Amino acid sequence: MDRSRHLQGFLIFAAIVAIGGLFVWQNTRPAIVVSVPAATPTPIDAPQDSWQAELEAQLAREANTPIPTPELDVTAYVPPTLPPPEAETIIEPVDLQSTPWDTPTPWPTAAFESQTAGGPTAYPSPTGVFVPQEPAAVAQYQPPPEQVPLSAHADDHFWFMRPVDASANSQSLFYYPFGSNGPQDEWRVHHGVDMPNPVGEPIQAGGSGTVIWAGSDAQVLEPNSVEIYPSYGNVVIIEHDFGYRGQKVWTLYAHMSAVLVERGQHVEAGDIIGLIGGTGDVSGPHVHLEVRVGQNNYFAVHNPLLWIAPYVGHGVVAGRVVFPDGRYVDDAVVTLSRRGRVIETTTTYVQPYGEGLRTWHVSPDPAWRENFVLGDVPEGEYQITASLGDIRVSRTITVRAGTTNFIVLGIEPAGTAATPQPVDDDDAS
């Protein structure tokens, strides 16, 4: 029995060995050897094939055959030459001796008469008026102003840069214009224009000149001198290098948070002279700008909108609202509209200077003799309206850019000078 089991185990072992040997034999084969014959070099002196010789001969013949060049019937190109640039013409702010169209008769050039007790009080408050506390949230970017000096009309004198850059708010308050006593007639007559801006916005000089006043703690100086009032706060006054009709010109910048120039310092147009603030008699930060001609005092002021350059593509509308006898109509509402939509509104001056008056508040321009101004009006055709009591006067005006567009509303007295252009006679209705 034991012998039989040993025999079976031997046979099983032999079978396993045989199967393993067969597997090894089948997977053990000689490696395949690939032989790549090497290229047989051509002897240097071996003769060329016939096709190679023929190809080389043909290429040699074509290389020696010139290609015909046709004669083209064209002229030689000559690059254009630009004419030499013309010298830039700069209009200096001086009196022009001729006028391209009719202008008003000259304003009397007599010296300003002294004020009487019935006139403005001794310590006027130029800008004691509410101003928005956050004007930057309301104001938008304006177009760039025209280059100065600008005098498209003989009586134009846009010689000053705006005191605030166009990237800030360089527009004046519409509800408290020059010569106005406020929308409810409760404020002092405004002797300048206000441009609201955040505290710290730079203020730039309108033109070249010498700083004759710079600082705080303003005071009333001797009569017929500077006349700076405490309500101005920190203020700078510049006496300019140029004059108008033989008279000196000054600009005043009030309510600064910081003064950046010194008295006696010479400045150029565009130089930073201070920062917007709320010092003095104000209810919000802004710069108050005045233009003074002839005398550096509070009552020799003229409308700054006739002195600062308008925006590109915009003009200035100025005019007179008068009674039949030629007297100015005070505090009349003037409306500028276009296709039935009101564009801008202002009021005529309150008690402006006139011939024979002993007291007044503001002075009309010596050339234009206006009693209202609308600044920065886009060029185009408008309807302008004023009320004279129960009478409503309306005319059409075509506004041209870069100049003063003048109009008279009311019945002109006999013998009055022709209405200044550039308003066309055909535009009036």
Q: Assess whether pLDDT exceeds 80 at residue 62.
A: no
Q: What is the pLDDT of residue 83?
A: 56
In a domain, 77, yes or no: no
Average pLDDT over residues 315-343: 92
Q: Calculate Rg over the CA atoms of the chain.
A: 45
In a domain, 365, yes or no: yes
Distance of CA 399 to the CA centre of its chain: 19
Average pLDDT over residues 358-387: 93
In a domain, 333, yes or no: yes
Question: pLDDT category, 13, cuts 50, 70, 90?
Answer: confident
Q: What is the pLDDT of residue 103?
A: 38
Model confidence pLDDT, tens digit, residues 67-115? 555 565 655 555 555 555 555 444 444 433 333 333 333 343 334 443 3
Task: Give the best-scoring range by mean pLDDT among 26-40, 56-70, 401-415.
Answer: 401-415
- The Cα 100–Cα 102 span in angstroms is 7
Question: pLDDT category, 26, cuts 50, 70, 90?
Answer: low
Question: pLDDT category, 29, cuts 50, 70, 90?
Answer: low
Question: pLDDT category, 227, cuts 50, 70, 90?
Answer: low
User: How many domains in the chain?
Assistant: 1
For residue 172, the domain's CATH number is: 2.70.70.10
Q: What is the pLDDT of residue 422?
A: 43
Question: pLDDT category, 136, cuts 50, 70, 90?
Answer: very low
Q: Are 191 and 304 in contact (CB under 8 A)?
A: no
Torsion of CA 141, 146, 147, 148, to 10 degrees: -110
Q: Are 321 and 313 in contact (CB under 8 A)?
A: no
Is pLDDT larger for residue 241 or for residue 427? Answer: 241
Q: What is the pLDDT of residue 224?
A: 45
In a domain, 223, yes or no: yes
In a domain, 394, yes or no: yes
Model confidence pLDDT, tens digit, residues 237-286? 999 999 999 999 999 999 999 999 999 999 999 999 999 999 988 878 99
Q: What is the pLDDT of residue 375?
A: 93
**Percentage of residues in the chain with pLDDT exceeding 90?**
42
Is pLDDT larger for residue 120 or for residue 139? Answer: 139
Sort 17 into a burial class: Cβ within 10 Å, 0-12 / 13-18 / 19+: exposed
In a domain, 233, yes or no: yes
Q: What is the pLDDT of residue 89?
A: 44
Average pLDDT over residues 368-384: 95
Distance of CA 394 to the CA centre of its chain: 32
- The Cα 267–Cα 271 span in angstroms is 6
Tell me which residue range forms the domain holding 262: 135-427
Q: What is the pLDDT of residue 116?
A: 35
In a domain, 322, yes or no: yes
User: Judging by DSSP bridges, how do beta strands 247-259 and 286-293 pair with one another?
Assistant: antiparallel
Q: Are 89 and 152 in contact (CB under 8 A)?
A: no
Q: Assess whether pLDDT exceeds 80 at residue 388.
A: no
Q: ∠ CA(141), CA(146), CA(149), 5° rounding?
A: 140
Average pLDDT over residues 151-178: 84
Q: Model-level pTM? A: 0.65
- The Cα 226–Cα 233 span in angstroms is 15
In a domain, 53, yes or no: no
Model confidence pLDDT, tens digit, residues 405-419? 999 998 655 444 444
